[in-house]
Amino acid sequence: MSLHPPARRRRAATLAASTTLALALIAGGALSASAATEGTGGQSLRALAQRSGLRIGTAINTDQLGSNARYDEIAASQFSSVTPENVMKWDAIEPQRGKFDYAAADELIRFAKQHHQLVRGHTLVWYNQLPQWLTDIGPSLTTKQATAILKQHIFDEMTHFKGRIWQWDVVNEAFNEDGTLRDNLWLQKIGPSYIEKAFRWAHQADPKALLFYNDYNIEYGGPKQDGAYALVKGLVKKGVPIDGVGFQTHLDTQYDIPDLRTTMQRFAKLGLKTAETEVDVRTTLPVTSVELSAQKAGYSETLQACLLVKACISYTVWGFGDAFSWIPGVFPGEGAADIYDEHLVAKPEYTSLQTVLRTANGVPRR
Ligand code: 9MR
């Protein structure tokens, strides 16, 4: 999967190579010495965010939940919303056709209820993490069969979780970088109307859930954002039940920080809610102090953008511990993208988020 912003966004080299090297050499010690002090009680991220009417969330790795006490403690004390990182995806909940496994997702929902957290459901219609049985039969499906399978999936999963999901990512990552629709099974078999159909079925299945379109790189202006904008504008105009747009916000210090305030306002003007749904800020390892500064800016600017846009109802990090991040597996040589380190000690990025929320001081948003 390419999560790189458009090439023209690539940052010009900001440092002479010699400076980078020098900083890299001093970085390890400097960073661990500056580990942040984590706030608890009224200074926790969730308590501070609540004062601004914002939910602050995290993706949850359910392998850690219930087996790592420190992980549980942070998940419960710092966040007011949770997203299953993998366990609500189709391959996880229906590994064999007609045989469902909701155990891990149900466990997460129990945890969320216990800790007064809301749940973002992720995700119903995607090209990735489909069960093997579906990948196998996919090419031979007729339009009618594919439509029936997708509809059944949305009803099965949403009915199971009915009333327990705050926001659903109904359709995920439907666009290519050039703003055309991604060539996935649903486009091939059903055509572009699969998106509209998915939202209509989702609303029938759980009328109270907020229904989101979710994607990456739409944080940046350009054809992909324009494609998503045209899509959701068309859906709104037709009265299709869509409530919001999720901006995944997977950033990398080698690219610019997107102007999410302007972008989210653009979508909010259509009457939609917005959310930052998968924030992380990766960088090349080892982290230099300059890159750390860019990571802190990445977190604080994106959170500020959410606070400055009233329609932005939640800010979610894609996991909180570097040891469990998806980044090193997909971007070799990169990492350190999260707000806690490998030992679940709060990093300066954590403090950046805390400072933004503290400074906002619960003043009403407009
Ligand atoms: O973090 C998820 C990782 O554990 C999975 O292996 C991966 C499989 O595609 O999906 C990751 O989460 C993705 C999310 O569901 C959608 N947006 C991009 C995320 C990072 O790849």
Per-residue pLDDT tens for 169-205?
A: 999 999 999 999 999 999 999 999 999 999 999 999 9
Please tell me the least confidently modeled range out of 27-31, 256-260, 313-317. 27-31
Residue 239 exposed, middle or buried by CB count within 10 Å (0-12, 13-18, 19+) = exposed
Q: What is the mean pLDDT of residues 150-179?
A: 98
Q: What is the mean pLDDT of residues 129-136?
A: 98
The verdict on residue 51 lying in a domain is yes
Q: How confident is the model at residue 5 (pLDDT cuts 50, 70, 90)?
A: low
Please report the sign of the dihedral spanned by the C-alpha atoms of residue 233, residue 235, residue 241, residue 244: negative
Confidence at residue 35, expressed as pLDDT on a 0 to 100 scale: 63
Task: Please determine, for residue 168, whether its predicted confidence score (pLDDT) is greater than 90.
Answer: yes
Task: Please determine, for residue 43, whether its predicted confidence score (pLDDT) is greater than 60.
Answer: yes
Task: Please determine, for residue 286, whether its predicted confidence score (pLDDT) is greater than 70.
Answer: yes
Q: How confident is the model at residue 31 (pLDDT cuts 50, 70, 90)?
A: very low
Q: What is the mean pLDDT of residues 106-135?
A: 98
Residue whose CA is at the smallest distance from ligand 1 atom 12: 85
Q: How confident is the model at residue 3 (pLDDT cuts 50, 70, 90)?
A: low
Q: Which residue in 116, 121, 122, 120 sits closest to 46, CA to CA?
A: 116
The verdict on residue 220 lying in a domain is yes
Instruction: Report CA(57)–ligand 1 centroid distance (Å).
Output: 16
Helix, strand, coil tally for the chain in percent (to 5): 45, 20, 35
Q: What percent of the chain has pLDDT over 90?
A: 87
Q: How far apart are CA 148 and CA 152, in angstroms?
A: 6
pTM higher than 0.85 for the full model? Answer: yes
- Amino acid occupying residue 293: S
Q: Which residue in 247, 187, 241, 177 sits closest to 214, CA to CA?
A: 247
Q: What is the mean pLDDT of residues 310-336?
A: 98
Instruction: Report CA(310)–ligand 1 centroid distance (Å).
Output: 28
Instruction: Give the pair of three-digit tokens for residue 310.
Output: 């009233």
Task: Please determine, for residue 28, whether its predicted confidence score (pLDDT) is greater than 50.
Answer: no
Q: Which residue in 272, 281, 280 sits closest to 240, CA to CA?
A: 272
| 32, 38 Cβ separation under 8 angstroms | no
Domain that holds residue 175: 16-314+339-360
* Residues marked as catalytic: 173, 278
The verdict on residue 249 lying in a domain is yes
Instruction: Report CA(32)–ligand 1 centroid distance (Å).
Output: 28
Q: What is the mean pLDDT of residues 41-58?
A: 95
Q: How confident is the model at residue 2 (pLDDT cuts 50, 70, 90)?
A: low
Residue whose CA is at the smallest distance from ligand 1 atom 10: 86
* Atom number of ligand 1 nearest to Cα 329: 6
Give the residues surrounding ligand 1 with Cβ less than 6 Å away. 1, 85-86, 128-129, 216, 248, 278, 326
CATH code of the domain containing 209: 3.20.20.80
The verdict on residue 243 lying in a domain is yes
The verdict on residue 330 lying in a domain is no
Q: How confident is the model at residue 6 (pLDDT cuts 50, 70, 90)?
A: very low
pLDDT digit string, tens, across residues 205-261 = 999 999 999 999 999 999 999 999 999 999 999 999 999 999 999 999 999 999 999
Q: How confident is the model at residue 37 (pLDDT cuts 50, 70, 90)?
A: confident
The verdict on residue 365 lying in a domain is no
* Neighbour tally for 189: CB within 10 Å: 19
Q: How confident is the model at residue 19 (pLDDT cuts 50, 70, 90)?
A: very low
pLDDT digit string, tens, across residues 54-104 = 999 999 999 999 999 999 999 999 999 999 999 999 999 999 999 999 999
Please tell me the least confidently modeled range out of 38-47, 117-126, 164-173, 233-242. 38-47
Q: What percent of the chain has pLDDT over 70?
A: 90
* Neighbour tally for 42: CB within 10 Å: 9
Q: What is the average pLDDT score of the chain?
A: 92
The verdict on residue 327 lying in a domain is no
Q: What is the mean pLDDT of residues 341-347?
A: 98
| 142, 219 Cβ separation under 8 angstroms | no
Structurally, the chain folds into a number of domains equal to 1
Instruction: Report CA(185)–ligand 1 centroid distance (Å).
Output: 19
